[in-house]
Structure 1
Amino acid sequence: MNHVVKMLLSITIGNVVATSLFILIVHETSFQLHSTYWIFSYIAGLFNFYVIEHQTKAYQLLNLYKFQAHYDFLTGVLNKRKFDEVLSEAFTKKLKQPIHQMSLIYLDIDYFKTINDQYGHHEGDIVLKEIGTRLIKNTRSSDYIGRIGGEEFAVLLPNCTIEKTWQIAERLRKKIADQPIYLKNGLSIHTTVSIGCAYSQGIGADIKQLPIIADQELYKAKESGRNQVSFSERKKDHLT
């Protein structure tokens, strides 16, 4: 309604200006002519307003549907279907940027079931949302983040070296472990994550083994005590 009032006001001001110019310049003072002009200008204005509003709402709905189709509604990162699509594009070298090497990180929230059982699923959602936010803040703009399971996330790192992969993974682990998460009930809790990393030079069939290797490394991190990063490639290269 506020938009309608503004639209009518703008038409009225335009009509006043146009009518004044007609009278001053053309010396046209016909009441019938001016009243007809005013009526048609309001009709045309209302019609244009309806068309613009309809197109705007349709565009907003389209963007909403696109977001819901590609993103996880809770965490704001890519959903599993879209992340798998991005991963497939990376395997076939169809991502927007050229790929010379690539890493994949799998991340799982430690003892998430206990959080849900102790504080409730609504508070568990707060934890998931905060984890998603920290992943976004502590990765590169060229990286792809997805929620691929209930409490499991994945990060695809195009053109990322072994050492840089380790640095990003460790940064994510520390940012999650060192900072408390504030729940709706006023309490704050500390949570940790286990992380598995896989690396490929981006050539040959080995690139499609990234999800398998990352999952194996994640399992090693969880079996070794959780709250740690497991990355066999880094150990092979004797990086410190």
Structure 2
Amino acid sequence: TLTLLFLMPEQPAGALVYYWLISILGGMLSLYIIKHEADARVLFKQYKFQANYDFLTGIFNKRKFEEVSRVLYDRTSQSPSSQLALIYLDIDHFKQINDQYGHYEGDQVLKELGARLRFLLSSSHTSARIGGEEFAVLMPNCTYTKGLHLAEEIRHTIDANPILLTSGDTIPVTVSLGIAHYPTNTPDPQTLPLIADRMLYKAKTSGRNQVCSTEKKE
């Protein structure tokens, strides 16, 4: 406005009014576009998170875990010197927790388990919730002994630290784990899920709160 008045001191008042209206409308349009763009970016991030991560635990969901697994299986099979370990773990008697404390507190148990996995695992490991109370951990460049040690560390950490519920109660929680290793257990990395699942079933049917594995070829 000052520039217009300086350049054209005899500018009619009506012209200034039109200038103000156009400026205000232009500013409002700019703000709308900026807000729309910001909202779109937030929604995109939310959709991307929901597509890859489990909404309760904050770790990968089953779809993303299978995607990462396929890449690692292919990469490992093409490198004779590579090693790969897969852990399946399942919360023991999770249905009883839901029945006794309610599904909301059951969700708290799942959240805490996800948090403990994130704390225990390194950035090179991939963890995911692949079922209701079932989790998986994939460890590239991991020896059989190291994978077995990590599985036992997970089991012990969960067993030794009761979980605090939102009600203020603390409950003991244990997990059963099955581990499979390439090339110790199989010449084909693609079969690791089958072996880990069998080992998990063995752990649950032979007493729970334990790690089951084998050094034999499956």
Q: Tell me what 1:71 maps to.
A: 53
Report 1:52-63 matches (<5 A). Answer: 52-63=34-45
Report 1:22-41 matches (<5 A). Answer: 22=3, 28-29=8-9, 30=11, 32=13, 35-41=17-23
Q: Tell me what 2:97 maps to.
A: 115
Q: Tell me what 1:198 maps to.
A: 180
Per-residue deviation at 1:89? 2.0
97, 115, 131: which is aligned to 2:113? 131
Q: Tell me what 2:169 maps to.
A: 187
Per-residue deviation at 1:200? 0.8
87, 92, 95: which is aligned to 2:69? 87
* 1:10-32: CA deviation from partner (whole Å, max 9, x where unpaired): xxxxxxxxx55x389x5654464
CA–CA separation in structure 1 for the residues paired with 2:4 and 2:48: 53
Report 1:129-208 matches (<5 A). Answer: 129-201=111-183, 206-208=188-190
Please say if 1:46 is aligned against 2:11.
no
Any unmatched runs of 5+ in structure 1? 1-18
Please say if 1:232 is aligned against 2:192.
no
CA RMSD between the two structures: 2.5
Q: Tell me what 1:12 maps to.
A: none
* 1:82-118: CA deviation from partner (whole Å, max 9, x where unpaired): 2122222222229xxxx92211100010111111111
* 1:130-180: CA deviation from partner (whole Å, max 9, x where unpaired): 111111111111221111111110011122222321232122112211112
Per-residue deviation at 1:68? 1.7
Determine helix, strand or coil for the equivalent of 1:92.
helix
* Code of the aligned partner of 2:137: V
Determine helix, strand or coil for the equivalent of 2:199.
helix
* Code of the aligned partner of 1:150: G
TM-score relative to the length of structure 1 = 0.78
User: In 2 relative to 1, CA 35–167 (structure 1 residues): closer, same or farther, beyond 3 Å?
Assistant: farther
CA–CA separation in structure 1 for the residues paired with 2:198 and 2:36: 51
User: In 2 relative to 1, CA 88–42 (structure 1 residues): closer, same or farther, beyond 3 Å?
Assistant: same
How many percent identity over aligned positions?
A: 51
CA–CA separation in structure 2 for the residues paired with 1:77 and 1:152: 12
CA–CA separation in structure 2 for the residues paired with 1:73 and 1:102: 27
* Code of the aligned partner of 1:231: S
User: In 2 relative to 1, CA 174–47 (structure 1 residues): closer, same or farther, beyond 3 Å?
Assistant: same
* Code of the aligned partner of 1:211: P
CA–CA separation in structure 1 for the residues paired with 2:30 and 2:158: 51
* Code of the aligned partner of 1:100: S
Determine helix, strand or coil for the equivalent of 1:114.
helix
* Code of the aligned partner of 2:120: N
Any unmatched runs of 5+ in structure 2? none
CA–CA separation in structure 1 for the residues paired with 2:54 and 2:4: 61
Q: Tell me what 1:105 maps to.
A: 87
**Equivalent residues, number:** 209
Greater shift in the superposed pair: 206-215 or 224-233? 224-233
